């Protein structure tokens, strides 16, 4: 009897092939795959396909010869970058501005979201949120123009007040030590309201029963925030902090380029602006590609390290 069961068992439950399983899943979720296909195509076309051109960082690229036929020179462009006298200056400025922005940019929207959460009037809260995130929709050019409206050495608001008080006007952007502060705090003004929306959404997901129970136990408003609200949004804080740390070397060049001048160049020149000038203005395409590749590799390594540390510390990570 056992022998017959053993001999028949391999034929009673045949294992489906992996291809059939995949085909079945495709048919079952075809609608979802159609919805996500535009996003997949976007990343394939605009993010993965351009990686084909990364090889020019290791070549002496000549447009007439094309990418494949340009001569291979290995790590010569990277050696040129690391041996340049300005390398440590632009690296220091890039990391310094990014860290400064992270130290202010991470807690600022959290505090703003906590303040919004304490506003009991729904209309007042909606109005305050609308006012706070409205600057996010202003272009970088307009935002820098507003900044110049206040700090212009000739007719700026601040200098007009100083002149009326009998003081000499101050050219704020001519002083290198002012650049980091102006760049970071103007960025906070423009983005803090929009960033706070994510934390406000996370706070709204916390059960009201927890607040009611803490109130019945006599917990003060500060205690309820410290022991209920903040722990409830810690996963969101961790995820956004990891993403921010992963772009620590990616300081956007548009705003810096608009605020930059020869007098503040020692503190305003970063990797992205140097890559723009060397690649587009000086037509050193291979060298610019090498600088960009170095920048992205460092970002990727930092993202991996920060994600691993976050996973071990709090079990909250991107993967």
Structure confidence by residue, pLDDT tens digits, 173-222: 999 999 999 999 999 999 999 999 999 999 988 988 988 898 888 888 88
Mean of per-residue pLDDT scores for the chain: 87
Say whether pLDDT at 5 is over 90: no
Structure confidence by residue, pLDDT tens digits, 149-159: 999 988 889 98
In this predicted model, which residue has the larger pLDDT, 16 or 59?
59
Query: How high is the pLDDT of residue 1?
Result: 46
Q: Mean pLDDT over residues 98-114, rounded?
A: 93
Please give the C-alpha separations between residue 231 and each of 116, 210, 223, in angstroms, as whole numbers.
Answer: 17, 12, 12
Q: Phi and psi (nearest 5°) for 240? A: -70, -35
* Band of residue 317 on the pLDDT scale cut at 50, 70, 90: confident
Structure confidence by residue, pLDDT tens digits, 19-62: 877 788 888 888 888 999 999 999 999 988 988 888 999 998 88
Q: Mean pLDDT over residues 88-99, rounded?
A: 93
Q: What is the distance between the alpha carbons of residues 278 and 286, in angstroms, rounded to a whole number?
A: 10
Query: How high is the pLDDT of residue 18?
Result: 75
Say whether pLDDT at 148 is over 70: yes
Structure confidence by residue, pLDDT tens digits, 218-255: 888 889 989 899 999 998 998 998 888 888 888 878 89
Nearest partner of 196 among 141, 139, 135, 254, judged by Cα: 135
- With vertex at residue 112, the alpha carbon angle to CA 110 and CA 114, rounded to the nearest 5 degrees, is 70
By percentage, how much of the chain surpasses pLDDT 70? 94
Say whether pLDDT at 16 is over 70: no
Number of H helices, E strands in the chain: 18, 0
* Band of residue 67 on the pLDDT scale cut at 50, 70, 90: confident
Query: How high is the pLDDT of residue 142?
Result: 94
Query: How high is the pLDDT of residue 258?
Result: 92
DSSP letters along 243-281, please? HHHTTTT---HHHHHHH--TTSHHHH--HHHHHHIIIII
Token pair belonging to 162: 């100083």
Instruction: Catalogue all structural domains in the chain, each as residue range(s) with its CATH number.
Output: 15-57 (no CATH), 75-314 (1.10.3720.10)
Q: What is the distance between the alpha carbons of residues 137 and 131, in angstroms, rounded to a whole number?
A: 11
Residue 235: its H or E element: helix 230-245
Query: How high is the pLDDT of residue 25?
Result: 81
Say whether pLDDT at 11 is over 60: no
The DSSP code for 137 is: G
């Amino acid at each position: 009897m056992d022998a017959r069961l053993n001999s028949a068992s391999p034929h009673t439950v045949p294992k489906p092939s992996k291809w059939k399983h995949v085909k079945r899943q495709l048919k079952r979720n075809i609608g979802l795959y159609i919805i996500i296909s535009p996003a997949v195509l976007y990343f394939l076309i605009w993010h993965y396909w351009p990686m084909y051109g990364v090889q020019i960082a290791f070549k002496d690229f000549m447009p007439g010869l094309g990418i494949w036929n340009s001569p291979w020179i290995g790590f010569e462009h990277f050696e040129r970058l690391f041996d340049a006298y300005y390398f440590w200056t632009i690296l220091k400025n890039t990391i310094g501005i990014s860290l400064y922005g992270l130290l202010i940019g991470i807690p600022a929207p959290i505090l703003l979201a906590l303040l919004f959460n304490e506003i009991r009037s729904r209309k007042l809260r909606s109005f305050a949120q609308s006012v706070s995130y409205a600057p996010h929709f202003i272009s970088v050019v307009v935002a820098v123009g507003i900044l110049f409206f206040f700090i212009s050495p000739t007719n700026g608001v601040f200098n007009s007040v100083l002149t009326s008080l009998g003081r000499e006007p101050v050219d704020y952007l001519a002083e290198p030590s002012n650049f980091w502060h102006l760049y970071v705090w103007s960025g906070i003004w423009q983005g803090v309201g929009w960033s706070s929306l994510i934390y406000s959404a996370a706070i709204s997901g916390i059960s009201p029963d927890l607040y009611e129970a803490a109130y019945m136990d006599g917990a003060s408003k500060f205690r309820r925030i410290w022991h209920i609200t903040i722990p409830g949004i810690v996963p969101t804080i961790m995820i956004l902090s990891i993403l921010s740390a992963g772009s620590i070397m990616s300081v956007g060049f548009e705003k810096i380029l608009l605020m930059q001048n020869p007098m503040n160049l020692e503190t305003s020149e970063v990797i992205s602006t140097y890559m723009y000038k060397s690649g587009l203005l000086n037509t050193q395409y291979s060298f610019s590609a090498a600088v960009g590749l170095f920048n992205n590799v460092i970002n990727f390594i930092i993202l991996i390290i920060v994600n691993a540390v976050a996973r071990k510390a709090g079990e909250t990570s991107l993967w």
